[in-house]
Amino acid sequence: MADIKVIGVLGSGQMGLGIAQLAAVAGISVVLVDSSDSALQKGMQGIRSSLQRFVKKGELTQEAANDTLAKVKHTTSLKEMSSADVIIEAIVENEDVKKHLFSELDRIVKPHTILASNTSSISINRLASATRRPHQVIGMHFMNPPPIMKLVEIVRGSATADGVFATIKALAERFGKTVIRSQDYPGFIVNRILMPMINEVFYTLYTGVATKEDIDCGMKLGTSHPMGPLELADFIGLDVCLSIMKILHHGLGESKYSPCPLLVQYVDAGYLGRKSGKGVYSYHAPPNNGNP
Ligand code: NAI
């Protein structure tokens, strides 16, 4: 594996903070960048709380937790990414915003730096096309929450170099993850299957087939899902679910992927799930980003 001394993580929302934590726990220095200072503060607090939970469980010493936290430098300045060997982007799931960022990063970072995206569904080829280094662009899709979930889905673009794939695979394994690889099609593997199911669950609720509680209970006890799908949608973020459905609908062109009007209505109302305190369910306690 190429020598990775510094990892840049872009976006300190629920995914970015978990990815930053994973990298720091693996002993790698992290630069965490977000355009919002309050998101950065919240992200750092999320990492701090998560590490403390590991200390309480006896899985980490206080000294190790302090050392880990000290490895994460946070800033709103994108230029600070210039020291990174690998960037893992985890900003909002919007193709235009991500492409703009990738083209800026391309100018700022070192020639050997790999640009990885945690996108749930956006084409890696399209993100790569915004740069002059398409062979160094790759999808590195973590599951939520990153410190706990064991999977990383790696997505190669048409130009991604073999060495870049090998480096990112080795990095994911250093984080303790199992890797699966996907071709660059909308939703890749996991969300191609999961999101239409979640969308169908919204249709089930929308058409009055059952209550949210009975739908979730049915899927938990009837199909051994650890979380009900509506609970899971709130956990992922309803805005993220809607963005992915739009990408599947647009990219695969079939009406079966059309987002359920009820999902659209929730997002329009600002009911984004746990992170906003309300989604399909209400969350009275302040959300902790689901991070352990
Ligand atoms: P989030 O909404 O919690 O966080 C996004 C963060 O990006 C925010 O803090 C925002 O301030 C920041 N941001 C937005 N535009 C920016 C820019 N131009 N420059 C710097 N920072 C910017 O989102 P979340 O859930 O963490 O998702 C992030 C990415 O990870 C998305 O691509 C999403 O599809 C993907 N993902 C999400 C999963 C989930 O369960 N929520 C699971 C796996 C992947």
The answer to whether residues 16 and 9 touch, using CB atoms and an 8 Å cutoff, is yes
> So what's the pLDDT on residue 284?
74
Same domain membership, residue 211 and residue 93:
no
> So what's the pLDDT on residue 1?
56
Distances (CA, A) of 10 to 90, 127, 238: 5, 15, 21
DSSP the chain: -----EEEEE--SHHHHHHHHHHHHTT-EEEEE-S-HHHHHHHHHHHHHHHHHHHHTTSS-HHHHHHHHHTEEEES-GGGGGG-SEEEE---S-HHHHHHHHHHHHHHS-TT-EEEE--SSS-HHHHHHTSS-GGGEEEEEEPSSTTT--EEEEEE-TT--HHHHHHHHHHHHHTT-EEEEE-SSTTTTHHHHHHHHHHHHHHHHHTTSS-HHHHHHHHHHHH--SS-HHHHHHHH-HHHHHHHHHHHHHHH--GGGPPPHHHHHHHHTT--BGGGTBSSSB--SPP-TT--
> So what's the pLDDT on residue 35?
96
Q: Is residue 281 part of a domain?
A: no
Region 124-139: what's the mean pLDDT? Answer: 98
Rounded to the nearest whole angstrom, what is the distance from the C-alpha of residue 209 to the centroid of ligand 1? 33
Same domain membership, residue 98 and residue 22:
yes
Rounded to the nearest whole angstrom, what is the distance from the C-alpha of residue 105 to the centroid of ligand 1? 17
pLDDT of 41 > 50? The answer is yes
How many domains are contained in the chain? 2
Same domain membership, residue 172 and residue 134:
yes
Same domain membership, residue 198 and residue 107:
no
220: domain range? 191-275
If one counts every other C-beta atom within 10 angstroms of the C-beta of residue 259, the result is: 20
Same domain membership, residue 200 and residue 174:
no
CATH for 71: 3.40.50.720
Same domain membership, residue 162 and residue 264:
no
Q: Is 176 left (phi over 0), alpha (psi -120 to 50) or beta?
A: left
Q: Is residue 286 part of a domain?
A: no
DSSP strand pairing (151-156 vs 137-142)? antiparallel
Same domain membership, residue 138 and residue 58:
yes
> So what's the pLDDT on residue 2?
64
The answer to whether residues 84 and 106 touch, using CB atoms and an 8 Å cutoff, is no
Same domain membership, residue 250 and residue 174:
no
Residues with catalytic annotation? 120, 141, 153, 191
* Residue that is last in its domain, among 126, 149, 182: 182
pTM of structure: 0.92
Q: Is residue 24 part of a domain?
A: yes
The answer to whether residues 284 and 227 touch, using CB atoms and an 8 Å cutoff, is no
Same domain membership, residue 26 and residue 151:
yes
Residue with tokens 């790569």: 128
Distances (CA, A) of 282 to 132, 200, 269, 287: 45, 21, 14, 11
Closest approach atom of ligand 1 to CA 239: 2
Taking CA atoms only, the protein residue closest to ligand 1 atom 36 is 120
> So what's the pLDDT on residue 3?
86
CATH for 207: 1.10.1040.10
> So what's the pLDDT on residue 58?
93
Rounded to the nearest whole angstrom, what is the distance from the C-alpha of residue 210 to the centroid of ligand 1? 32
Q: Enumerate residues 6+ apart whose C-beta is below 8 A from 278.
A: 271, 272
Taking CA atoms only, the protein residue closest to ligand 1 atom 8 is 13
Where residue 209 falls among pLDDT bands split at 50, 70, 90? very high
Taking CA atoms only, the protein residue closest to ligand 1 atom 31 is 93
pLDDT of 286 > 90? The answer is no
Indicate the residue type of 281.
Y
Angle at which helices 14-25 and 37-56 cross, to 10°: 50
Which of 36, 50, 40 lies closest to 12 in space, CA to CA? 40
Counting ligand 1 atoms within 8 A of each CB, the residue from 32, 92, 120 with the most, and so the one to mutate, is 92
Same domain membership, residue 209 and residue 170:
no
Q: Which residues line ligand 1 (CB under 6 A)?
A: 10-16, 33-36, 39, 90-93, 97, 101, 118-120, 141-142, 144, 236-237, 240, 275
Same domain membership, residue 206 and residue 135:
no
The answer to whether residues 118 and 20 touch, using CB atoms and an 8 Å cutoff, is no
Where residue 291 falls among pLDDT bands split at 50, 70, 90? very low
Same domain membership, residue 130 and residue 85:
yes
